[in-house]
Amino acid sequence: MEVKIGILALQGGFREHKEIIELLAKQENHFNKYTCKEIKTDRDLVEFKPDGIILPGGESTAMSIISSAHTQGTDIKNIFDHLKEFVSNGKPIYGTCAGAIMLSDQVENQKDGGQSLIGGLHIQTSRNYFGRQINSFQSRIRLDLPVIEKSPDESQPSVTILDDIDGVFIRAPGITKILDKSVEILGRYQVTLKDSTKETIITAVKQNNILATVFHPELTVDTRFHKYFIDIVIAHKLSFLK
Amino acid sequence: MDKIETTNKTNGTKSSDDQIQSFKIKSSLAQMLKGGVIMDVVTPEQAKIAEEAGACAVMALEKIPADIRHFGGVARMSDPKMIKEIMAAVTIPVMAKVRIGHFVEAQILQNIGIDYIDESEVLTIADDENHINKSKFQVPFVCGCRNLGEALRRIAEGAAMIRTKGEAGTGNVVEAVRHARSVNKEIKKLVSMDDDELYTYAKEIQAPLELVKEVKRLGKLPVVNFAAGGVATPADAALMMQLGMDGVFVGSGIFKSGDPKKRASAIVQAVTHYNNPDILSKISEDLGEAMVGINSDKIVEQWSVKEKH
């Protein structure tokens, strides 16, 4: 089966995601073929017809402005409108850092005048939650990933535990509120904030086919989290074939 | 401030409550700036215009390069108060410049919480023998280069991002193109070399052997590389992107032009859609007057050649 992953390429670390998907494509040699394309315009999206989309890290303000600027005064549709449709159709989408902000229903600490979002993920995020670049950090974190294809055999574990993820947090947002019980928390981490208080933060969430992380697995050589996203994409695609 | 780690390829050897500040953290922010435009601004109002136009970061400074050329005299780090006002005005990262070798200016900027420091040839040189030992700082640095050897010397000193020098304040892209092409050409040459030739090549370009080997293995610089110095139009920005740059700095080109808002937005679009002539034609229309520009062979002082090392 061909699995097509589109990567929003308006600004930010989109090349790193592409490299991870390409790495996974090399490892896959049985039934599935992964293809990956940078998405910059509505036309790219319509032509490529991705099965899953990744929203990269970068500056969310820049991406939301770039998404609409060249469409002004034309009948070209803003790519964010296409992405909203993609999300509301229940298709798999994964946002890292700025991508997680764009997927959030509510965002705190926006630039003056606010910024346009894609939304659909029922969480509240706060931009630059930990402070400035000097407060960026890297640490080993643990994720508990619900198994996508549940086996009828009750003795099989229902979560996969990854306890050695290299978490890279760059001017990261915080997930400050979960707004609906359909949102599953995949990981927590105790962090020392800039005023030296300790706080347990949420590092990753899942809501049906939507994934979001405030850290950057694409900045490491670890492909496991992206593989998890691809498993969701494959399961979603198969659900239409059954 | 005691958690500077020089290497951390040691995945998993740290206990989970150990937060590490490392080279990886420094170079990662630059990776998130890719595909974006970093704009010179002198006031909080200009910083907001830049943010509204879609800039991925701003460079806070008292005088833009064209005015530094015009007024002359010693150009130094900007007033920290003015930089702090710009930091408070926008939510995107803020960079600022220090003089080459002036590590105390860098200490001051690190202390006020700047996101990135540009050790810049645009300001007057403070130490004509040594650059700042950038690996001693927690805040990341960007430095200019004209060729591969210079880029690798800066990376060896701890720079986490590289830019072409170009010739700032001229509105003429020729030097930036020259520097981008020369880095590209030297990397291609290096990649095609026999491993036995690397020792002499490292000596020739005056770069550390380890970094030379790494560039051969990667086929590119180990850090992000932006274009800077002379970019004035959306077409200039797209040109630099097609030459393989990761993003663009625009200094005097925006706020020395007739319609800064429109030009800023157009340059941001050009960096994203650098390979799309339809969009490039549309956004290049009706931008008002570009900055007048100076031909770089007519300027009194070429900044790009003033560093000796």
Pairwise CB contact (< 8 Å): B16 & A189: yes
Q: What percent of chain A stands above pLDDT 70?
A: 95
Q: Which of B16, B21, B92 sits opposite A141 (nearest CB)?
A: B16
Q: Which of A166, A164, A165, A146 is nearest to A156 (CA)?
A: A146
Query: Is A218 among the residues known to form the active site?
Result: yes
- Mean pLDDT, to the nearest integer, of A149-154? 72
User: Out of A129-143, A224-238, B116-130, B284-298, which region has the weakest mean confidence (pLDDT)?
Assistant: B284-298
Q: Which of A11, A170, A22 is nearest to B24 (CA)?
A: A170
- E strands in chain A: 2-8, 33-39, 52-55, 93-96, 104-108, 121-126, 137-146, 159-169, 174-178, 184-192, 198-207, 210-213
Whether A165 maps to a domain, the answer reads no
Whether A25 maps to a domain, the answer reads yes
Q: What percent of chain B stands above pLDDT 70?
A: 90
User: Out of A109-113, A116-120, B248-252, which region has the weakest mean confidence (pLDDT)?
Assistant: A109-113
Q: Which of B19, B32, B87 sits opposite A57 (nearest CB)?
A: B32
Residue B136 CA to residue B24 CA, distance in Å, equals 14
* B185, B164 contact by CB (below 8 A): no
The yes-or-no verdict on residue A208 having pLDDT over 60 is: yes
B148 or B4: whose pLDDT is higher? B148
The yes-or-no verdict on residue A175 having pLDDT over 50 is: yes
- pLDDT tens for A14-72 read 999 999 999 999 987 677 899 999 999 999 999 999 999 999 999 999 999 999 877 66
The reported pLDDT for the residue numbered B298 is 66
Catalytic residue among A97, A108, A122, A149: A97
pLDDT confidence bin for B21, thresholds 50/70/90: low
What CATH number did the domain enclosing A85 receive? 3.40.50.880
pLDDT confidence bin for B131, thresholds 50/70/90: very high
The yes-or-no verdict on residue A171 having pLDDT over 90 is: yes
Q: What angle do CA A48, B224, A58 make, to 5 degrees?
A: 55
Whether A138 maps to a domain, the answer reads no
Residue A8 CA to residue A112 CA, distance in Å, equals 24
Contacts of B12 in chain A (CB under 8 A): 140, 164, 166
Residue B131 CA to residue B154 CA, distance in Å, equals 8
Contacts of B265 in chain A (CB under 8 A): 65, 69
Q: Which of B56, B91, B110 sits opposite A127 (nearest CB)?
A: B91
- The Cα of A169 is separated from the nearest Cα of chain B by a number of Å equal to 8
Which residue in A has a C-alpha nearest to residue B57's C-alpha?
A: A59
What global pTM score does this model have? 0.93
Q: Delineate the domains of chain B, giving CATH numbers in brackets.
A: 20-290 (3.20.20.70)
Catalytic residue among B26, B97, B134, B256: B97
Pairwise CB contact (< 8 Å): B16 & A70: no
Enter the ipTM: 0.93
- pLDDT tens for A187-202 read 999 988 777 889 999 9
Residue A129 CA to residue A213 CA, distance in Å, equals 14
Whether A147 maps to a domain, the answer reads no
Whether A91 maps to a domain, the answer reads yes
- The Cα of A109 is separated from the nearest Cα of chain B by a number of Å equal to 8
Count up the domains in chain A and report the number: 1
The reported pLDDT for the residue numbered B133 is 96
User: Out of A66-75, A126-135, B24-33, B222-231, which region has the weakest mean confidence (pLDDT)?
Assistant: A66-75
Please name the residue that has the structure tokens 């979960």: A178
Q: What angle do CA B38, B40, B43 make, to 5 degrees?
A: 125
Pairwise CB contact (< 8 Å): A66 & B12: no
DSSP secondary structure string, B25-37?
HHHHHHHHHTT-E
- Mean pLDDT, to the nearest integer, of B285-296? 76
The reported pLDDT for the residue numbered A41 is 92
Contacts of A127 in chain B (CB under 8 A): 91
The yes-or-no verdict on residue B20 having pLDDT over 60 is: no
* B301, B180 contact by CB (below 8 A): no
The yes-or-no verdict on residue B254 having pLDDT over 80 is: yes
Known binding-site residue numbers of A: 58-60, 127, 170-171
Across chain B, mean pLDDT equals 90
Residue B50 CA to residue B116 CA, distance in Å, equals 17
Contacts of A111 in chain B (CB under 8 A): 51, 90-92
pLDDT confidence bin for B13, thresholds 50/70/90: very low
Whether A195 maps to a domain, the answer reads no
- pLDDT tens for B135-160 read 999 999 999 999 999 999 999 999 99
Query: Is B97 among the residues known to form the active site?
Result: yes
Contacts of B96 in chain A (CB under 8 A): none
Whether A20 maps to a domain, the answer reads yes
Query: Is A216 among the residues known to form the active site?
Result: yes
Whether A101 maps to a domain, the answer reads yes
* B92, A59 contact by CB (below 8 A): yes
The yes-or-no verdict on residue B62 having pLDDT over 60 is: yes
Range of the domain at A95: 2-126+174-188+202-240
The reported pLDDT for the residue numbered B15 is 35
Q: Which of B115, B272, B276 sits opposite A11 (nearest CB)?
A: B272
Pull the structure tokens for residue B22. 């490392």
The yes-or-no verdict on residue B222 having pLDDT over 90 is: yes
DSSP symbol at A183:
P
Q: What percent of chain B stands above pLDDT 90?
A: 78
- pLDDT tens for A22-34 read 999 998 767 789 9
